[in-house]
Structure 1
Amino acid sequence: MSDATTIESAGAMLADPKAYTDEGRLHAGLTRLRATAPVSYVDVGDYAPFWAITKHADIMEIERANDIFTNSPRPVLVTREADEQQAAVGIRTLIHMDDPEHRDFRAIGANWFRPKAMRALKARADELAKQFVDKMVAAGPECDFVQQVAVNYPLYMIMSLLGVPEQDFASMLKWTQEMFGNDDDEFKRGDSKEEQMMALLEMFQYFTELTAARRANPTDDLGSAIANATINGEPLSDIETVSYYAIVAAAGHDTTSASISGGMHALIENPDQLAKLQADPGLMPLAVEEMIRWTTPVKEFMRTAQQDYDLRGVRIAAGDSVLLSYVSANRDEDIFDDPFTFDVTRDPNKHIAFGYGVHFCLGAALARMEVNSFFTELLPRLKSVELTGPAQHVATTFVGGLKHLPIRYELA
Structure 2
Amino acid sequence: MATIAPAVLPPEIASAIVNPVAYGEWNGIKEKFRWARDNMPVGLVQAEGYMPFWAITRHEDIMTVSKDNARFLNAPKSVVLGPIAVQMLTHMITGGSPHLVRSLVTMDAPEHMDYRKLTQSWFMPKNLASLEEKIRGIARASVDAMLATGGSCDFVHQVSALYPLHVVMQILGVPHEDEPLMLKLTQEMFGGEDPDLNRARSVELTPEQVTQFVIEAVRDFEGYFMKLAAARRADPKDDVATVIANAVIDGEPISDRNAAGYYIIVAAAGHDTTSASTAGAMWALAKDPEQFARIKADRSLLPGLIEEAIRWTTPVQHFMRTAAEDCEIGGQAIAKDDWLMLCYVSGNHDERVFPDPDRFDASRGPNRHVAFGAGVHQCLGLHLARLEMRILFDELLDRIDSVELAGTPLRASSTFVGGPKTLPIRFVPS
User: What is the TM-score normalised by the length of structure 2?
Assistant: 0.93
User: Do the aligned residues in 2 keep the contact of 1:270 with 1:342 (CA within 8 Å)?
Assistant: no
Partners of 1:233 and 1:325 in 2: CA distance: 38
- 1:168 aligns to 2:178 (yes or no): yes
1:74 match: secondary structure? coil
Deviation per residue, 1:266-318 (Å, 9 max, x gap): 11112221121112111111111111111110000000011111122211111
The structure 2 residue matched to 1:66, chosen from 62, 65, 69, is 69
2:148 is aligned to: 138
2:229 is aligned to: 211
2:158 is aligned to: 148
Partners of 2:167 and 2:82 in 1: CA distance: 29
Deviation per residue, 1:202-251 (Å, 9 max, x gap): 01100011111111111110110111111011111000001000000000
Deviation per residue, 1:140-198 (Å, 9 max, x gap): 21111101111000000011111101111001100000000000011112342323311
1:107 is aligned to: 117
Partners of 2:79 and 2:264 in 1: CA distance: 15
Partners of 1:285 and 1:161 in 2: CA distance: 23
2:135 is aligned to: 125
Matches within 5 A, 1:241-280: 241-280=259-298
Q: Which runs of 5+ in 2 are unaligned?
A: 1-6
- 1:9 aligns to 2:27 (yes or no): no
Deviation per residue, 1:49-108 (Å, 9 max, x gap): 210000010011111221111011221112223323444336311111000000101011
Code of the aligned partner of 2:177: Q
The structure 1 residue matched to 2:40, chosen from 24, 27, 37, is 37
User: Do the aligned residues in 1 keep the contact of 2:316 with 2:371 (CA within 8 Å)?
Assistant: yes
- Shift of the alpha carbon at 1:410? 1.5
Partners of 1:372 and 1:48 in 2: CA distance: 41
1:198 match: secondary structure? helix
Q: Which runs of 5+ in 1 are unaligned?
A: none
Code of the aligned partner of 1:361: C
- 1:189 aligns to 2:189 (yes or no): no
2:401 match: secondary structure? strand
Code of the aligned partner of 2:160: A
Partners of 1:295 and 1:337 in 2: CA distance: 16
Code of the aligned partner of 2:335: A
Using the aligned pairs only, state the percent identity.
45
Q: State which drifts further: 344-353 or 6-15.
A: 6-15
Code of the aligned partner of 1:338: D
The count of corresponding residues between Structure 1 and Structure 2 is 409
2:22 is aligned to: 19
1:54 is aligned to: 57
- Shift of the alpha carbon at 1:116? 1.1
Code of the aligned partner of 1:357: G
Partners of 1:255 and 1:173 in 2: CA distance: 12
- Shift of the alpha carbon at 1:45? 2.8
Partners of 2:247 and 2:317 in 1: CA distance: 31
1:372 is aligned to: 390
- 1:75 aligns to 2:93 (yes or no): no
User: Do the aligned residues in 2 keep the contact of 1:7 with 1:32 (CA within 8 Å)?
Assistant: no
1:408 match: secondary structure? strand
User: Do the aligned residues in 1 keep the contact of 2:8 with 2:46 (CA within 8 Å)?
Assistant: no
Matches within 5 A, 1:78-89: 78-87=82-91, 88-89=93-94
2:188 is aligned to: 178
- 1:306 aligns to 2:324 (yes or no): yes
User: What is the TM-score normalised by the length of structure 1?
Assistant: 0.96
2:78 match: secondary structure? coil
The structure 1 residue matched to 2:241, chosen from 223, 226, 233, is 223
- Shift of the alpha carbon at 1:5? 9.6
